[in-house]
């Protein structure tokens, strides 16, 4: 703040300081006083002894001045040098040099300002015509009397006083720092001048190289604009000093236009750099819009003003630079006052530059503030100070970025540690909860198979349902925690959408029968046979939506629709839409906005009436977002609900062939079912006709298949339809509810299928129907559960005694012989003693002495070392995280079953793996 007060005080001083204008009173002495150069070994400034004359029309000649010398208003100057600002008049300068020696003095008259267009120096000789020399920046350096960037005129001064007249005609500032020196002194001065210029450009080039390296390393826009800013400044000063024209030869108007164009560009480039350096886009949006408008105004002025007046363009360039610098200084002060450290460097840098520009601009207009004469050294000093301070600010910014990056890395490391701790806690809690749950639910499974009366069975069923509800809550919380910690990884594999929908919907068959609801699944005929994505996560989302639909639907039906549209002409990418519709209680409009929030349901009474945690939809939403899709719903209270989600999926095959060479007749009284049956048959290549069960009219075309839905059709009418199909030798797919106990008699080709009819079931049933071996024989009796369970000797590694009892009882009940071990070390020893004795190993993963993963790795290593056949190993564990599943697969396990164990899943896995081993 103290800096701001001091700086504002300087501004007031500069603002109220009035320049010293040249004396407008004519000189009473019309002859310039001679400057004695006889004994001087220094570079003499001729300014105090000069007389100047304005020639507004540029019509005066040297002869007129010599002939009528006393008639013209010559005047002296009061400043150090001639400075008439931007003036379009021609100016004459008169001075005299006195040589008191007896021999001539050789020397140089120097005009130490490069931007002067036309100079003519006349040396008056008493006994002959004047000596004339031409100069100015209209001449290339190699055509000047002395090839230097400023204007040097070599002179030979005989004894006595030599008078000179200098004619100046220029469009730039009329600034004439005139000196005289002998050749030795001029050479020393030139060397010092070149050293100063080299130091200036060396500083800028060093800053350019250093920040170029940083730009290449960091790839930040701030450094790129800083480099552009330095390049613009170097080009401007090279033009201003006349250095650039040493290598580039162009006309004077073009040189002038280039200089002032670079001044306009300086305004635009410095503003763009300031936007990035001060982070106005992120931190100060309104200020950023002002700076962007400023850039547009500068560029528009640069393009438009030259079309009207070049003189106006030249004058406006200095004004734009001055105003632009003030705006940027104010911007820096504003950012600094807002508490941003880099604003202090920026304010200090532009403060130096602005002071230099004020002095320089005032000098170019003919005003000398605080007695400071016009020249490039002020601008060079301000620009050097600005670029050095900005470079220091950028370096400090790097340190700040390093600090921020270090803090971010520390925060990320801490977050990883917290996530890891959370994951370990979840894994531990899951394991500790599932282990006793396995004992509870396992014993309930065993108890349900004993002889119970109705009241006892009711109690057992209630306990079992409550246990499974608790398990569902645990799974939901675990899934939600994994999503929150970002530890869910998506698969990218090919899958059959029919199988995915059928497997998911089949899990709700029991609820369909219990509530007497209809369950219909439709997959669009346009969809490919195989899609590419994560079927496990898709199944999880679909299962959550179906679970909600069945939970809140008491009568009617639940429907699943799967449609899609290709995203490109190659049809290798699709937008797939899954819809789940129900005829349940619906959801009020005001409750829909928060339905996907965690632990939220439609109203506070929903949890009490229907149960649940309110996590299912939140988990579904996160999974859909993770897959790049969206999820939403349409619903009204008491009008049912349609929940849908869309995800982008790949395709590994084209759409199914739809030649529709076969015809199918669908007979049903269920209006909702009719559309689903038609879509399923069309996907399999059938053209479909519909008929009401009460109609006696024959179909318009003979059918290759009759799909007969028995719901709400009287038995007599069913017998008539079956008899009619038998007479016409039409295969019949007979759809019946599981509780339909009517005795039907038929002949011919008939296959029964229990409702609900799922897509994969329809495909498999039609294959059976078309199998010639089964056309005239009744379908083989399905094997009983006991027959489906294989036989074999199993090794079980389990440290919990309750779980040992549950697993052993389940296995022995299925006809397996079992050997129990307490840990992985015992299991490994038992296997090594007699590898051929065991058909399969059930392995708990977390046990004392040696866990199941390590035991599995050592068993697989032993098999490879001894060239033994592979013994199937199934993980039977309370760990359910994907990391544990992947670790089990990497260790060499063949399957992964989580506790509490489901007996049917266990039996299916054993049958598959033991049979697979027997075939090898």
DSSP codes of every residue in 651-671? ESS-BPP----EEEEEE-S-H
Gap between the Cα atoms of 869 and 891, Å rounded: 17
Its pTM stands at 0.48
Pick the CATH number of 34-192 from 3.30.420.10, 2.60.40.2380, 3.40.50.1820, 2.170.130.10: 2.60.40.2380
8 Å CB contact between 709 and 668 = yes
What pLDDT sits at residue 264?
92
CATH class of 662-774: alpha beta
Gap between the Cα atoms of 710 and 755, Å rounded: 10
Per-residue pLDDT tens over the stretch 668-679: 888 888 888 888
**Strands, DSSP E only, in 277-417?**
none
Residue 787 confidence (pLDDT) above 50: no
Quick one: average pLDDT of 563-591?
Answer: 86
What pLDDT sits at residue 373?
56
What pLDDT sits at residue 727?
83
CA-angle at 438, arms to 848 and 898, nearest 5°: 75
- As a whole number of Å, the end-to-end CA separation of the chain is 86
Residue 801 confidence (pLDDT) above 90: no
What pLDDT sits at residue 680?
86
Per-residue pLDDT tens over the stretch 443-492: 777 787 778 776 777 677 777 767 776 776 677 677 666 666 666 778 88
Q: Residue 405: pLDDT band by 50, 70, 90 thresholds?
A: confident
Question: Worst-scoring range by mean pLDDT, 12-16, 31-35, 122-126, 763-767?
Answer: 12-16
Residue 821 confidence (pLDDT) above 90: yes
Residue 40 confidence (pLDDT) above 70: yes
DSSP label of 700: S
What pLDDT sits at residue 125?
84
Of residues 595 and 297, which shows the higher confidence score? 297
Quick one: average pLDDT of 137-141?
Answer: 80
Q: What is the dihedral of CA 851, 857, 862, 867, to 10 degrees?
A: 150
Residue 496 confidence (pLDDT) above 60: yes
Per-residue pLDDT tens over the stretch 190-224: 888 888 888 888 888 988 998 898 888 888 888 89
Quick one: average pLDDT of 366-391?
Answer: 73
Q: Residue 21: pLDDT band by 50, 70, 90 thresholds?
A: very low
Per-residue pLDDT tens over the stretch 455-466: 777 677 777 767
Q: Does domain 786-919 correspond to CATH entry 3.40.50.10490? A: no
Per-residue pLDDT tens over the stretch 718-730: 888 888 888 888 8
What pLDDT sits at residue 13?
39
DSSP label of 528: B
8 Å CB contact between 796 and 873 = no
Gap between the Cα atoms of 477 and 104, Å rounded: 106
Residue 184 confidence (pLDDT) above 80: yes
Lookup result for tokens 């207009």: 365
Residue 150 confidence (pLDDT) above 60: yes
- Facing residues of 563 across strands? 577
Return the CATH fold of 490-651: Heat Shock Protein 90 (3.30.565)
| pLDDT mean across residues, the chain | 81
Gap between the Cα atoms of 241 and 113, Å rounded: 8
Per-residue pLDDT tens over the stretch 234-260: 888 888 777 777 777 777 778 778 888
% of the chain surpassing 90 pLDDT: 20
Question: Worst-scoring range by mean pLDDT, 425-439, 703-717, 863-877?
Answer: 425-439
What pLDDT sits at residue 562?
94
Give the full edge-to-edge strand order of the sheet including 686-691. Answer: 686-691, 662-667, 705-709, 732-736, 750-754
- Facing residues of 528 across strands? 655
% of the chain surpassing 70 pLDDT: 84
Gap between the Cα atoms of 785 and 903, Å rounded: 11
Q: Where are the domains of the chain?
A: 34-192, 193-233+246-409, 414-480, 490-651, 662-774, 786-919
Return the SS3 of 538: helix
Of residues 424 and 125, which shows the higher confidence score? 125
Give which of 677, 738, 756 is closest to 505, Cα–Cα.
756
Question: Worst-scoring range by mean pLDDT, 75-84, 87-96, 822-831?
Answer: 75-84
What pLDDT sits at residue 653?
66
CATH class of 414-480: mainly alpha
Quick one: average pLDDT of 589-593?
Answer: 71
DSSP label of 56: T
**Strands, DSSP E only, in 675-815?**
686-691, 705-709, 732-736, 750-754, 793-797
Residue 289 confidence (pLDDT) above 80: yes
What pLDDT sits at residue 685?
84
Residue 598 confidence (pLDDT) above 70: no
The Cβ of residue 97 has, within 10 Å, a number of other Cβ atoms equal to 25
Quick one: average pLDDT of 621-646?
Answer: 88
Whether 662-774 shares its CATH topology with 786-919 is answered: yes
What pLDDT sits at residue 831?
93
Note the residue count of the chain.
920
Of residues 454 and 81, which shows the higher confidence score? 81
Per-residue pLDDT tens over the stretch 322-373: 888 889 989 989 988 888 888 888 888 888 887 877 777 666 665 666 555 5
């Amino acid at each position: 703040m103290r800096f701001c007060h001091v700086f504002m005080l300087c501004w007031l001083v500069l603002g109220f300081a009035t320049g010293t204008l040249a004396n407008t009173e004519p000189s009473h002495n019309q002859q310039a006083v001679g400057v004695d150069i006889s004994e001087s070994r220094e570079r003499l400034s001729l300014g105090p002894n000069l007389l100047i004359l304005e020639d507004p029309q540029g019509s005066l000649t040297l002869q007129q001045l010599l002939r009528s010398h006393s008639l013209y208003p010559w005047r002296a100057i009061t400043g150090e040098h001639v400075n008439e600002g931007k003036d379009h008049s021609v100016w004459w300068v008169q001075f005299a040099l006195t040589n008191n020696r007896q021999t001539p003095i050789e020397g140089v008259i120097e005009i130490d300002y490069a931007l002067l267009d036309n100079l003519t120096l006349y040396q008056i000789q008493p006994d002959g015509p004047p000596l004339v020399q031409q100069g100015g920046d209209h001449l290339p350096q190699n055509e000047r009397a002395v090839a230097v960037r400023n204007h040097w005129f070599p002179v030979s001064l005989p004894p006595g006083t030599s008078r000179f007249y200098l004619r100046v005609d220029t469009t730039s500032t009329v600034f004439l720092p005139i000196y005289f020196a002998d050749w030795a002194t001029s050479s020393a001065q030139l060397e010092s001048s070149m050293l100063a210029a080299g130091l200036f450009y060396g500083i800028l080039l060093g800053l350019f190289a250093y920040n170029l390296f940083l730009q290449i390393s960091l790839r930040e826009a701030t450094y790129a604009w800083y480099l552009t800013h330095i390049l613009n400044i170097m080009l401007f000063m090279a033009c201003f000093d006349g250095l650039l024209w040493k290598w580039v030869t162009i006309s004077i108007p073009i040189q002038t236009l280039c200089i002032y164009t670079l001044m306009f560009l300086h305004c635009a480039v410095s503003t763009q750099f300031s936007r990035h350096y001060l982070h106005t886009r992120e931190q100060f949006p309104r200020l950023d819009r002002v700076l962007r408008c400023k850039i547009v105004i500068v560029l528009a002025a640069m393009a438009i003003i030259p079309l009207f007046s070049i003189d106006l363009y030249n004058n406006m360039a200095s004004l734009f630079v001055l105003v632009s610098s003030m705006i940027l200084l104010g911007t820096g002060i504003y950012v600094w006052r807002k508490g941003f450290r880099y604003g202090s460097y920026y304010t200090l840098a532009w403060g130096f530059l602005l002071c230099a520009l004020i002095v320089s601009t005032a000098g170019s207009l003919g005003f000398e503030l605080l007695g400071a004469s016009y020249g490039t050294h002020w601008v060079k000093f301000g620009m050097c100070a600005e670029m050095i301070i900005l470079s220091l600010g950028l370096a400090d910014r790097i340190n700040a970025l390093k600090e921020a990056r270090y803090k971010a890395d520390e925060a990320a490391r801490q977050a990883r540690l917290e996530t890891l701790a959370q994951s370990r806690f979840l894994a531990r809690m899951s394991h500790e909860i599932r282990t006793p749950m396995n004992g509870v639910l396992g014993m309930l499974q065993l108890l349900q198979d004993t002889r119970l009366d109705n009241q006892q069975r009711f109690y057992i069923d209630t306990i079992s349902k409550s246990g499974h509800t608790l398990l569902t809550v645990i799974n939901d919380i675990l899934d939600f925690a994994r999503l929150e910690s970002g530890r869910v990884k998506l698969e990218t594999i090919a899958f059959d959408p029919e199988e995915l929908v059928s497997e998911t919907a089949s899990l709700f068959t029991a609820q369909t029968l219990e509530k007497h609801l209809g369950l219909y699944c439709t997959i669009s005929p346009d969809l490919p046979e195989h899609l590419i994505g994560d079927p496990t996560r898709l199944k999880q989302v679909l299962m959550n939506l179906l679970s909600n639909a069945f939970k809140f639907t008491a009568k009617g039906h639940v429907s699943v629709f799967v449609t899609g549209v290709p995203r490109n002409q190659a049809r290798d990418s699709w937008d797939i839409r899954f819809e789940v519709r129900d005829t349940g209680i619906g959801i009020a409009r005001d409750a829909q906005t928060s339905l996907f929030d965690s632990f939220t349901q439609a109203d506070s009474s929903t949890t009490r009436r229907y149960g649940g945690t309110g996590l299912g939809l939140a988990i579904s939403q996160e999974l859909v977002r993770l897959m790049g899709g969206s999820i939403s719903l349409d619903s009204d209270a008491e009008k049912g609900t349609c929940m849908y989600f869309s995800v982008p999926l790949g395709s590994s095959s084209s759409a199914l062939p739809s030649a529709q060479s076969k015809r199918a007749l669908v007979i049903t009284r269920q209006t909702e079912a009719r559309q689903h049956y038609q879509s399923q048959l069309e996907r399999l290549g059938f053209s479909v006709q519909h008929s009401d069960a009460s109609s006696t009219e024959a179909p318009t075309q003979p059918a290759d298949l009759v799909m007969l839905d028995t719901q709400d059709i009287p038995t007599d009418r069913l017998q008539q339809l079956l008899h009619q199909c038998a007479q016409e030798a039409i295969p019949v797919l007979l759809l019946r509810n599981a509780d339909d106990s009517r005795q039907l008699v038929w002949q011919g080709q008939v296959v029964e299928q229990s409702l609900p009819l799922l897509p994969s079931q329809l495909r498999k049933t039609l294959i059976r129907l078309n199998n010639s071996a089964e056309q005239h024989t009744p379908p083989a009796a399905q094997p009983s559960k006991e027959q489906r369970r294989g036989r074999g000797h199993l090794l079980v590694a389990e440290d919990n005694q309750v779980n040992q009892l549950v697993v052993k009882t389940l296995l022995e009940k299925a006809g397996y012989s079992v050997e129990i071990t307490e840990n992985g070390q015992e299991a490994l020893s038992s296997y090594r003693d007699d590898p051929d004795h065991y058909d399969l190993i059930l392995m708990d993963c977390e046990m004392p002495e040696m866990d199941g993963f390590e035991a599995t790795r050592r068993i697989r290593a032993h098999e490879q070392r001894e060239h033994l056949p592979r013994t199937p190993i199934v993980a039977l564990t309370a760990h359910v995280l994907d990391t544990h599943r992947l670790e089990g697969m990497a260790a060499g396990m063949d399957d992964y079953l989580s506790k509490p164990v489901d007996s049917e899943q266990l039996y299916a896995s054993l049958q598959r793996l033991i049979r697979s081993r027997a075939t090898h």
